[in-house]
Amino acid sequence: MGKRLSIAIDMDDVLCQTTERLIERFNAHFQQQLSADDLGHMMKKSELPKEMIQFVLGEFNQPGFARKLEVKENAVEVVRALNDQYDVYIATAAMEVPGTFTDKFHWLEDHFPFLDPHYFIFCGNKEVVRADYLIDDTVKQLHQFKGTGILYTAHFNRGLETPFKRVDQWSDVYDHFIKQFDERLTERAKFN
């Protein structure tokens, strides 16, 4: 049959609960009660205070921060199933937060030991990623990607109208790529 189909998967707010951890740290530091939905609303309206942006970037770049992130529900099981049928790459925009490289690498080894670390891509712009599909929560990254983009719902992209297929959770990813595998093969044949 030839080369397997390939899927690149973003990390932050796709595989791991980055926003939830940042909100937890922000609330503790500033004695606030913001929710992840509050942050998403503020991001949509470009209302993030400068002090919040600086704090979030500082926290994100702290050694150990990315290593302690929680895995999204069902992500490990679904990525394992994907890895059985597809070439799976992890593509994270780590250039934006360079202090996270080592922690992200070890986090992937800890939670996804079945993935080939040679398929971990630390980049800035996901235009450089060569895969058939990219699952990402950032519309900008999906627009830059050359393959088929899949938008993973996050607090800041809820309600956005985009040209991309949307998945809300990992069970949706399973349905789209595992249950509908034959449809993915048909899609590939159309583009080749």
Distances (CA, A) of 167 to 79, 131, 171: 14, 18, 9
Give dist(CA 114, CA 107) in Å, integer: 13
Give dist(CA 72, CA 16) in Å, integer: 5
10 given a catalytic annotation = yes
Residues 72, 17 contacting (CB under 8 angstroms) = yes
- What is the separation, in whole angstroms, between the first and last Cα of the chain? 13
Q: Is the dihedral of CA 70, 36, 101, 127 positive or negative?
A: positive
110 given a catalytic annotation = no
Q: What is the per-residue DSSP string for 106-156? A: HHHHHH-TTS-GGGEEE-SSGGG---SEEEES-HHHHHH-SSEEEEEP-TT
Catalytic residue IDs: 10, 12
